[in-house]
Amino acid sequence: MANNDPFIPYLATVQSVVDLTPDVRLFTVELNDPAVRESFTYRPGQFAFVSVFGMGEVPFGITSVAHRDEGLQFAVRRVGTVTNALHEVREGDTVGVRGPFGNGFPLEDYEGKNIFIIGGGIGMAPLRPVISTVLDRRDSYGDLLIINGARTPRDLVFAPEFDVWAQSPRTKVELTVDRGDDNWTGRVALIPDVVRDIKPSPENMIAITCGPPIMIHFTLQALKELGFADRQIVTTLESNMKCGLGKCARCNVGDKYVCKDGPVFDFEQISHLFEEA
Ligand code: FES
């Protein structure tokens, strides 16, 4: 039965653990209670807290889409105590899941528009459900342009999916790295420079970006040079979230709470955050 206390995590069983990069793992979990499973619906861009019991919990953008019914997925980069503990979790283990929280991307508002996805590193994780949704409802959207960047080729998350994405009609995938290796024949360039090089038209296009703040800062500049208006550029923010419910005041950005008013914002709302990055 669904619990009514949003601070109590649901129990979930890990179905699979897959290495995406040397320090990022993809966890697929299934909520144990069938009634909870049924009622746990979520949108691209929403997040949930995943807990390792006795260690703590961390918020992650959900990287699966509810309509595919393939389990709840989180891409976890090993960066601290809880994420290290999560990397020790194996198939069949139990974790906690609290959520879903946040607003998510208003994908209905983007129907009929061209979609430009710009993801850096693990920032691709919350963007993957947008890509999946556009691919699964291909006729509802215009062109899909994806730029995915990472430090090195080995750090490109979701690499096995690039070909699938690129084979979809009216879809282009551009990969770039900061530093190539012996096998890399693709771009070696920073994401904002790739944006400038490709020069997508801002007409009828929504740009959705996620990645390190410095990348977003310079990507924002590149998009503006091309004529994108602030309202056409959307991002999903990370923050020091604790409750996820707008109650602890740990995640405020100006007068907004990332957990409750976001994590998805357009730059009409938050461009001031990146102007001095
Ligand atoms: S995480 Fe508590 S108010 Fe946002």
Evaluated on CA atoms 237, 29, 159, 205, the torsion sign reads: negative
Cα of 244 from ligand 1 centre, angstroms: 5
Least confident of 76-80, 177-181, 238-242: 238-242
Q: Is 184 a member of any domain? A: yes
Whether 237 is in the pocket of ligand 1, judged by its Cβ within 6 Å, is no
Query: What local confidence, expressed as pLDDT, does residue 104 receive?
Result: 96
pTM for the model stands at 0.95
Q: Is 70 a member of any domain? A: yes
Cα of 261 from ligand 1 centre, angstroms: 10
Q: Domain boundary at 36, 69, 101, which?
A: 101
Q: Is 243 a member of any domain? A: no
Whether 243 is in the pocket of ligand 1, judged by its Cβ within 6 Å, is yes
Angle ∠(125,27,43) on CA atoms, nearest 5: 50
Q: Domain boundary at 49, 82, 101, which?
A: 101
Whether 267 is in the pocket of ligand 1, judged by its Cβ within 6 Å, is no
Q: Which atom of ligand 1 is nearest to the CA of 247?
A: 3
Q: Is 158 a member of any domain? A: yes
Query: What local confidence, expressed as pLDDT, does residue 255 receive?
Result: 83
Clarify whether residues 86 and 176 are in a common domain: no
Q: How many C-beta atoms surround the C-beta of residue 276 within 10 A? A: 6
Q: Which atom of ligand 1 is nearest to the CA of 257?
A: 4
> Residue 191 is part of which domain span?
107-236
Clarify whether residues 85 and 140 are in a common domain: no
Clarify whether residues 7 and 52 are in a common domain: yes
The burial of 69, by beta-carbon neighbours within 10 Å (0-12 exposed, 13-18 middle, 19 or more buried), is given as: exposed
Whether 246 is in the pocket of ligand 1, judged by its Cβ within 6 Å, is yes
Cα of 6 from ligand 1 centre, angstroms: 13
For 211-222, what is the mean pLDDT?
A: 94
Number of domains the chain is built from: 2
Query: What local confidence, expressed as pLDDT, does residue 141 receive?
Result: 98
Pick the more confident residue, 44 or 1: 44
Clarify whether residues 74 and 147 are in a common domain: no
Clarify whether residues 143 and 181 are in a common domain: yes
Whether 61 is in the pocket of ligand 1, judged by its Cβ within 6 Å, is no
Clarify whether residues 93 and 75 are in a common domain: yes
Q: What is the CATH number of the domain that holds 75?
A: 2.40.30.10
How far is it, in rounded angstroms, from Cα 277 to Cα 264?
Answer: 19
Q: Is 250 a member of any domain? A: no
Q: Which atom of ligand 1 is nearest to the CA of 242?
A: 1
- DSSP tag of 102: S
Q: Is 172 a member of any domain? A: yes
Clarify whether residues 77 and 138 are in a common domain: no
Clarify whether residues 61 and 176 are in a common domain: no
Q: What is the pLDDT of residues 115-127, one digit of tens each?
A: 999 999 999 999 9
Q: Which atom of ligand 1 is nearest to the CA of 258?
A: 4
- Say yes or no to pLDDT of 277 above 60: no
**Closest listed residue to residue 209, CA positions, set 137, 130, 262, 276:** 130
Q: Is 27 a member of any domain? A: yes
- Say yes or no to pLDDT of 2 above 80: no
Q: What is the pLDDT of residues 124-182, one digit of tens each?
A: 999 999 999 999 999 999 999 999 999 999 999 999 899 999 999 999 999 999 999 99
The helices-and-strands tally (H runs, E runs) of the chain is: 7, 15
Clarify whether residues 133 and 196 are in a common domain: yes
Q: Whose CA is nearest to atom 3 of ligand 1?
A: 246
Strands 264-266 and 10-21: unpaired
Q: What is the CATH number of the domain that holds 146?
A: 3.40.50.80
Q: Domain boundary at 86, 101, 116, which?
A: 101
Q: Is 245 a member of any domain? A: no
